[in-house]
Chains A and B, each alone.
Chain A
Amino acid sequence: MAKKTTKKSNETGWDYAPSLESIGHIDLKESYDLFIDGKWVKPSSGKYFETINPANEKVLAKVAHANEEDVDRAVKAARKAYDTVWSKMPASERAKYIFRIARLMQERARELSVIETLDAGKSIRESRDIDVPLACNHFFYYAGWADKLEYAFPNRDFEPLGVAGQIIPWNFPLLMAAWKIAPALAAGNTVVLKPAETTPLTALKLAEIIELSGLPPGVVNIVTGFGDTGAAIVEHPEVNKVAFTGSTAVGKHIQRAVAGTDKKVTLELGGKSSNIIFEDAPIDQAVEGIINGIFFNQGHVCCAGSRLFVQESVAELVVRKLKQRMDSLYVGDPLDKNTDIGAINSKEQLEVINKYIKIGIEEGAEMYQPNCELPDKGYFCRPTLFSNVAQSNVIAQEEIFGPVLTIQTFRTVDEVIQKANNSPYGLAAGVWTDKGSRIFNLTSKLRAGVVWANTYNKFDPASPFGGYKESGFGREGGLHGLRAYVKLK
């Protein structure tokens, strides 16, 4: 193995040896079929597609491409399971199934982490310490709700929706599957889930775990495929609920597609979240928060703190410290435990990011990238910072979904609130200040679904997540996440 972690090439001294997570213990098949009605079935078209490792462009497995007919089978299986088993079962037994899935996931956590890293390109440190534990915890958390729904909706008549069609993105493949499946099952629904075409593997491993758990056939069905597969789910007449996480463009399309039906919809879409640093903030902590806010998961985070607002009096200091911190980030093999920034999820996404970097340069913003080597193979992008940016810049308005940060300065509280709210999006925001009263001022005035104070990119199964405005509607996580999966009368 060549040196895997790359750093400033001109540096000498003490270098870390690569510390690669072993892939010897993972169990991946050459090809995966569709998980429908508790069985693995071949796609009716006979078509399969390849999923690759974005860090080295090698094929990991072949995966079935479900068409309308397959989706129909899955929805019918889900409907049957709903009618005959899942809605009839005592809630406390339903809870125990979900607990069981959570435990099985915990037992296989490392395998799931490694596969997630291989398939999605995210660093092993992140998949091991964040994605997979959170996914397990989501199941664990919602398991407990299954027999306590009357406490969640006191004095209200409620019932499950029926069959939930769920479409998830490629940035947190397993975690998004957990966010979708766990509350749906807890509330008594059955599920047809489609993972993203570039990252289907952990959802399929989850299907194996579900199979192993003894969950009644048809309660969870996993169908892999592309946009057409997703469209078939959205448009299927027997789907009662559509839950989608992904781009705002597709979200709008879904909203139009379900128009005139009784389908309940929740959308978790894009963002251009602001991260606001006041002069009295703990600067070193804020710098870490900025780094985590934008470079976490290569910036493939819908709530990434991609618009940085720094109060003018500390702007120079913050930018200097940011650059210094960026210099110590390791970009490279996602399997290496030293790696901070892994691979960009796909070639297409890398092209999108590079397009925006080009726009930023053309717009006259000042770019900074650390001088680190990138691996020869695979899709990688240096952490990138643009200073000298205004609200009017395209790179400050549009979601880039990559490790690209724009920095604007501000002078007053009022000004920064207005600028932060001056966006069609409203997913999240960060506020850094030593003043508690200021935090609450901002949390009450920012039009965003999540506000992090002196921290960023924190997630917890007990905490609701979701956006204002074009960032979507409905909440996932916490007590509020249950509402998306019941009909309240």
Chain B
Amino acid sequence: MKIKQLFRHSETYVLFIVILFSAFVTAINPAFLTLENLFDLLRSSSGTAILAIGIFLVLISGGVDVSCTTIAIVGQYISVNVLIATGFDNIWFAFAISMLLGVTLGAINAVFVSLFKLPTLIVTLGTSSLYHGAMLEFVGTKAVNVGGLPQSIKDFGAFNVLNVSRPDGSTFGLSVFFVILVVIILVTWFILKFTMIGRGIFAIGGNLEAAKRAGFNTRRIQFFVYMYAGLLAGIMGVMHLSLIRYSNPNYLVGTELSVIAAVVLGGARISGGSGTITGTMIGVILITILEKNLIMIGLSSYWQQFFVGLVLLIGVSITYLQAKFQDSGRRIIVKEEE
């Protein structure tokens, strides 16, 4: 019974795919299942995972957010430029600026979603164009390369919380990024599970009208959701910068769809109200190993996008085919034992 229930969730399938794929990759290339590669995967995918959590929250509330990646790059690019311009070379300062920007831009999204009640996909498409265009026009278009990058950001990217030495004496480690991700997962989980605002996010995603009647402040909840997603995007922006040590104002934009794909694969319902953080993380893992490890099995990285699309289609097909069959079986009226 329990196992049967487990198979109703698409994240179970996705987890299986992850395990199978990992086993497959390991069989072909044993370098996959090494601590070093795992640490590296964690380091490079933490940012995506954080974005995914923000998008996950938006999906739960019944919306879609395609502006997260834009918010991340805006936060990143503006904060690095401020750091350079002021000469105040401090990682906390960078985070503060980026997070503040993220929250503000998220709040603008919320204004259109909550006050004007516009479709969230179209709002966030519009705002992402607005934010990105404004930044390129009014802030600048020149990339900041590693030479011009503030030292604190480079240091942060290289900071490991745990070091392991290789046989030859050199070391590799577990990046601080992973710690940030874990903290965000825990905080988000706590909010969703143990606060009224968190339950409110589920409630408005399940039945907005009922949420209003029950006395949830739906406006406040929507503002919280989009501002929180913006905040996470802001954090991700700075992390991304210290990961690749290069700030190109055109990066990240355009990758939002694969993050959404990860969240949906993780079992979050596009119509809102349902999904888990665990599922979301499994979805991110799948997308990440697809994107990063095709080379390991001898497929060129050009296949990446194709496989992400394919896996997404298979994942959602399973979910919706199941829903279709369950639905037709539900209208039981006659009791056969009569």
A and B interact: no
List the interface of chain B (C-beta within 8 A of A). Answer: none
